[in-house]
Structure 1
């Protein structure tokens, strides 16, 4: 929908983006990925026994890592704990450690590092040194020096999750997404190997990784700094062994069951249930867009086009406990994730996939950057970006959306009438220092289908909020892709609100 003027070319793997000669291990990981792309794709189950593969959820939960067996325990502020292979995790990863001598050492599977309780007890005999691990989690003292908090976990396919000081896990990041939402089905790349570099005093956690899929082979470098907000510097070197129909870079996976914008909510005491409530993007030209998430009745794929975006992310802006009232899931403490592109994000689109779901246990939101340039067999690509957790909304000089609601158009006391027309109400938070002259405010509201009427904007809550309202009469059977923003004296004072509405 939006396009910047400048167009950059896809960035291939070259001497300009390869690591220096002083990083021989990382260079060897990249070269291994390059060579692998010239060969047929193969999976490796590390010869897991059928008993490990076929265990159920309850049995898997009965296998617990012993904290006193953590990697670097008592030697480093960072510690690493591992997940047992088997159950859903049937393609384990090989883990290497790199210490002060800069020599990689393979970490064999150690059954003595796990407790096998109840029905899981017989499975201890099913393991051997070559089984590898399902994944791992990293700990560091963030809140205080007496306890090491978990802040990152790599587990399953190319998924990884991050949290800051006051967060609980919600949204996931991924190394790569391939063919998401296509009729032929999605391809899920897997991390196959990890190199864990033992951090020096005061240094961040550095990880190298290898990625494999039928279409792509890759190498990754992660530099993770835990804190109030955890941030990761990501570099990836990708090599195509097959043509890729749709390459999804810097992907997110999240969940939206229902929210304040949902017309008909389930019979549930909780007002809202979601890990994320919107997609945020800042375009090359500086336009800031807030795309509200929904749980659609049918698969919905939308996109926002641009050249060289300044940033994008999937956010949980609403951090008020009263919005969720969930004392167990703590949805108000779920982080957002924000990407700041640094290399490789040429002309393309931010694609958002919303999948119908009836359960909060199912992730149904996916978002990723899709480069316009095709990625065909024999080619390479380099990407670099910073990924960081975000609490609530990011700071902005513009009025930002804090609430989206919809309802029938009847007035108080009137009888409900059969009508497709809906009233929308969007509240924008006015930033500190912004001077608002109510009589000078104007609203620009557009839709690609249907008709918008009675659009107006006015201050509420003692001027702390600006409320935009309008009536939408949708076109039968057609989704209405709406955009709205506020301006004062011909100058925009708000971000762009974007919403896709389907008539029931």
Structure 2
């Protein structure tokens, strides 16, 4: 998967014409009548009907025009093409700007303004953009289309959400720092066959009449297997993050083997759990460090992320989950030491179903990586019943981009997972033994000692926890450390652990760990 390197820089350039009154200086080109299409009736139901009609016909691959010119608009050339601020489109109070096509964004999208039940297409024109005299983009015509759009803050200096490439979008969260991405839909992710990437082909931007909602974005999605209509009500809460309420209607022209609802895409290179996997100067490098789940029965689960030596897919079966998300729990700058891109400020994203999702599984796909520029983590909901050709499936959910999951909890949470050599210093180290150390932190643990709790450790048949123990972390009241060794040479070893009171009442969330002993053994030798 391609990952945008320096996404804030790439997403800091391009924009379009004002359709509504605004206080900015008078536009230089937006007044031209040929910059906008004719008004057409619009509604979400009409967009869904359009998606249904598309799905009833064979898929048509969009044409890429002037591929030779697009080849020349590489990262550097693309960054130099900047949308003119005085051409910003005001959708109510939300300023929208547009992205130019380039090498990595070759397929145009259509963008419409919606007002009073009617839509008008915003037509591309080169004059919307500032570009160097020698920019390859000057060779393109005035009917090329845009690559995507972003919503700016009032001063037009930074954006808080952007849609660019496929069905990808992301926000800058609580600290104005971009990190992981979301997608409209994922198909056949992490399977032997090639992944299918549905793309948003049309966007409709509407001023919201709902209290607290800044903008409503409608999107038409299309791919060889499915067409769909999306409605996204978006709220930007400065200092807190963003909330997006999503309604989706999907129409399948073909069956799929793995369907990803509400997919999240992130990067995990290394942390305290696999520090041995990199020689980088920083202690940790990751957008997110774990998958959090709240099951339909109310169990809280934490699954630390891995950087395996092969593609690994993990499924966590559930019925009507209460939520899941990729979280960046470690907020300590000292653990990253990166004052350029601030991994400690990356947003977490929580998915909360707002419709009946039924049976299925939260699915986590982990791919190997040796650099931070590649997204190698994908998490999504995979329904138990795969769609058949001609079938409609509807899903609604709330996305919260914030510092943490909006979940009230009374149990302690996992705050560190550490892996190291088994055995003890001063003694021969067993080469097939790995030491696990899990830290739990929460008010419920304050005042308790190791003798007050019980450790519950579940391992595969034939694998035992060697000398498990629980101790308080010195100087950290409310933090306990569970330590044990495991002996195994398996490719993959799944583990489950939590702490409870003596009466069996859980004191911590459930930790689901996965290690790859053979990968660890290989790294020991190299």
Q: Same fold (TM over 0.5)?
A: yes
- Note if contact 2:445-2:480 (Cα within 8 Å) is conserved in structure 1: no
2:78 aligns to what? 60
Residue 246 of structure 1 and its aligned partner are, at CA, apart by 1.0
- Of residues 392, 398, 402 in structure 2, which corresponds to 1:380? 392
- Of residues 171, 175, 178 in structure 1, which corresponds to 2:187? 178
Could you say if the C-alpha distance between residues 28 and 393 of structure 1 is closer, same or farther in structure 2, counting changes exceeding 3 Å? Answer: closer
Unaligned runs of 5+ in 2: 1-40, 522-526
- Note if contact 2:187-2:197 (Cα within 8 Å) is conserved in structure 1: yes
SS at match of 1:45: coil
Question: Take 2:282 and 2:275, find their aligned partners in 1: how far apart are those partners?
Answer: 15
Question: Take 2:485 and 2:213, find their aligned partners in 1: how far apart are those partners?
Answer: 55
SS at match of 1:302: strand
Could you say if the C-alpha distance between residues 207 and 445 of structure 1 is closer, same or farther in structure 2, counting changes exceeding 3 Å? Answer: same
Residue 164 of structure 1 and its aligned partner are, at CA, apart by 2.6
1:39 aligns to what? 57
1:241 aligns to what? 253
Could you say if the C-alpha distance between residues 266 and 185 of structure 1 is closer, same or farther in structure 2, counting changes exceeding 3 Å? Answer: same
Question: Take 2:319 and 2:273, find their aligned partners in 1: how far apart are those partners?
Answer: 30
Per-residue CA deviations over 1:21-47 (Å, capped at 9, x if unaligned) read xx9521110000011111010122364
Residue 102 of structure 1 and its aligned partner are, at CA, apart by 2.8
1:91 aligns with 2:101: no
Residue 462 of structure 1 and its aligned partner are, at CA, apart by 4.1
Question: Take 2:129 and 2:450, find their aligned partners in 1: how far apart are those partners?
Answer: 64
Per-residue CA deviations over 1:161-185 (Å, capped at 9, x if unaligned) read 0223413111100000001111111
- Of residues 414, 423, 435 in structure 1, which corresponds to 2:435? 423
Between the two structures, name the one with larger relative contact order (CA 8 Å, sep ≥ 6): 1
- Note if contact 2:411-2:507 (Cα within 8 Å) is conserved in structure 1: yes
1:490 aligns with 2:504: yes
Could you say if the C-alpha distance between residues 315 and 78 of structure 1 is closer, same or farther in structure 2, counting changes exceeding 3 Å? Answer: same
1:216 aligns with 2:234: no
Could you say if the C-alpha distance between residues 88 and 148 of structure 1 is closer, same or farther in structure 2, counting changes exceeding 3 Å? Answer: closer
- Note if contact 2:171-2:401 (Cα within 8 Å) is conserved in structure 1: yes
SS at match of 1:226: strand
Per-residue CA deviations over 1:367-398 (Å, capped at 9, x if unaligned) read 11000012010100000000011214654211
1:139 aligns to what? 152
- Note if contact 1:49-1:126 (Cα within 8 Å) is conserved in structure 2: no
Of 391-400 and 310-319, deviating more is: 391-400
- Of residues 257, 278, 286 in structure 1, which corresponds to 2:269? 257
Question: Take 1:420 and 1:393, find their aligned partners in 2: how far apart are those partners?
Answer: 37
1:152 aligns to what? 161
SS at match of 2:149: strand
- Of residues 467, 488, 495 in structure 2, which corresponds to 1:454? 467
1:82 aligns with 2:91: no
Question: Take 1:96 and 1:110, find their aligned partners in 2: how far apart are those partners?
Answer: 14
SS at match of 1:268: coil
Give the TM-score normalised by structure 2.
0.85
- Note if contact 2:174-2:347 (Cα within 8 Å) is conserved in structure 1: no
- Note if contact 2:446-2:477 (Cα within 8 Å) is conserved in structure 1: no
Question: Take 1:212 and 1:314, find their aligned partners in 2: how far apart are those partners?
Answer: 26
Residue 303 of structure 1 and its aligned partner are, at CA, apart by 1.1
2:197 aligns to what? 188
1:285 aligns to what? 297
1:403 aligns with 2:416: yes
Question: Take 2:436 and 2:395, find their aligned partners in 1: how far apart are those partners?
Answer: 39
Per-residue CA deviations over 1:205-263 (Å, capped at 9, x if unaligned) read 10110000000000000000001120100000000001111111000100001001005
1:166 aligns to what? 175
- Note if contact 2:350-2:405 (Cα within 8 Å) is conserved in structure 1: no
Residue 83 of structure 1 and its aligned partner are, at CA, apart by 0.5
Could you say if the C-alpha distance between residues 459 and 315 of structure 1 is closer, same or farther in structure 2, counting changes exceeding 3 Å? Answer: same
- Note if contact 1:311-1:339 (Cα within 8 Å) is conserved in structure 2: yes
Question: Take 1:128 and 1:46, find their aligned partners in 2: how far apart are those partners?
Answer: 15
Unaligned runs of 5+ in 1: 1-22
SS at match of 2:139: helix
Task: Tell me how large the CA RMSD over aligned residues is.
Answer: 2.0
Question: Take 1:77 and 1:24, find their aligned partners in 2: how far apart are those partners?
Answer: 21
